[in-house]
Structure 1
Amino acid sequence: MPDKKPDAEATKNPKKANLLDHHSIKHILDESVSEIVTSRGYVEDVRMSNIRLVMGTIIIVIALVAQFYKKKFPENRDFLIACIALYVVFNGLLQLIIYTKEKNAILFTYPPVGSFTSTGLVVSSKLPRFSDLYTLIIASSDPKSVSANEPVQFTKSVTQWFTKDGVLVEGLFWKDVEALIDQYAREPKKSK
């Protein structure tokens, strides 16, 4: 499968980050990781995002119904209490999903078309505040599956991938991320 490398358009419009803002740096790196993984034949799995959007929509509808209900306050007291309870329950469920399923994930994928594995990837990243160490983790989306490989990761300084002006040197970053994807694909299967 041919790998998609940064093309001429990417060099014309380089990705630039504010080096004093770690959120900007992490955003650029995470965006690039998503591009690299999808260019390797992995299709993004948006089910988790859709679940979060549906939950958020339900929460907004509950708030709007409570706000614009026909009756005024003393008469709609029980209805407001029910809306507040539902609002708290759905917000709690949303936070539970984010805490247990997403964690630091930036990308969920399906398995590549035509591959023998039955699990996709979960790609996670960390860039702690006041640190230059970026950690990228690739794991199976179903770690209990027979075809799941062991998670792989690397931790490197972001100074290796950015120029002094804050421009991402995509070639170097692509090489590191592709090496990690290859390492995950080569990883021996778990013995049970």
Structure 2
Amino acid sequence: MQETKDASSKPKKVNLSDHSSIKHLLDESVSEIVKSCGYVEDTKLSNLNLLIGTIVITIALFAQFYKKKFPENYNFLIGCITSYIIINGVLQLISYVKEKNAILFTHPPVGSFSTTGLVVSSKLPRFSDLYTLTIASADAKSVSANKPVELTRSVTKWFTKDGELVEGLLWKEVDGLINKYAREPKKSK
């Protein structure tokens, strides 16, 4: 039986000379694969970033549209600028400490005995064709956390010479990595 192709089943193409586009397409595809394996995205950190970003924008708007003109609002502007810098610093700290190279945070799969989800991270260094995908526990200190697993492959393995992503090959590799993570023995404490 032949399946009907819809808009979402169009082949995914990328400009092979655009490093950022390659990484973005691979990250997006990996996220789709992980979610299709029963993992639900955990959006708490994204929502926190959005909240902090909204606060920063609000501070900037207050500074811009404050009723008084410049010499009279000097102290108010200094307070807004200081708040803006501090809150932006917090946002950068969260990104540096918690997110790192993460492309996806998940909850544990439904029906699982695990109490922790996954952190899926990727790297594609500039001027390199080696894409590294890491799957680790969202809470490394949890009793149900497994050892992180990693896969490094050349992106040329997953793309045709025309820049079309061979999703079946990528799917097989990512699914295998998820299964390897699930089979890893628990770390000893």
**TM bucket normalised to smaller:** over 0.9
Give the 5 Å matches for 1:11-160.
13-160=10-157
C-alpha deviation, 1:9, in angstroms:
4.2
Opposite residue 109 of structure 2, the aligned amino acid is P
Q: Which runs of 5+ in 2 are unaligned?
A: none
Moved over 3 A (4+): 7-12
CA distance in 1 between counterparts of 2:172 and 2:111 reads 24
Cα displacement (A) at 1:13: 0.8
- What is the alpha-carbon root mean square deviation over aligned residues? 1.3
Q: Distance in 2 between matches of 1:73 and 1:28?
A: 47
Partners of 2:14 and 2:47 lie apart in 1 by: 29
- Give the letter for the 1:151 counterpart: P
The amino acid that maps onto 1:77 is: Y
3-state SS of paired residue (1:84): helix
Equivalenced residue count is 186
Mind listing any 5+ residue stretches in structure 1 that lack a counterpart?
Answer: 1-6
**1:14 CA drift (Å):** 0.3
1:91/1:41 CA distance change after superposition, 3 Å: same
Q: Distance in 2 between matches of 1:10 and 1:191?
A: 47
- Write the deviation string for residues 111-169 of structure 1: whole angstroms up to 9, x where unpaired: 00100110000000000110000000000000000000000001000000000000000
Separation of aligned partners in 2, 1:9 and 1:169: 17
TM-score (norm. length: structure 2): 0.96
Aligned partner letter, 2:40: V
Structure 1 counterpart SS, 2:122: strand
Distance in 1, Cα, partners of 2:187 & 2:25: 33
Q: Which amino acid aligns with 2:99?
A: E
Distance verdict in 2 for CA 1:10–1:155, change over 3 Å: farther
Question: In 2 relative to 1, CA 64–40 (structure 1 residues): closer, same or farther, beyond 3 Å?
Answer: same
Whole-angstrom CA distance in 2 between matches of 1:95 and 1:28 = 25
Equivalent-residue separation in structure 2 for 1:46 and 1:12 (angstroms): 26
Q: Structure 2 counterpart of 1:31, which letter?
A: E
Please give the secondary structure, in 1, of the residue aligned with 2:153: strand
Please, what TM-score do these two structures have when normalized by structure 1? 0.94
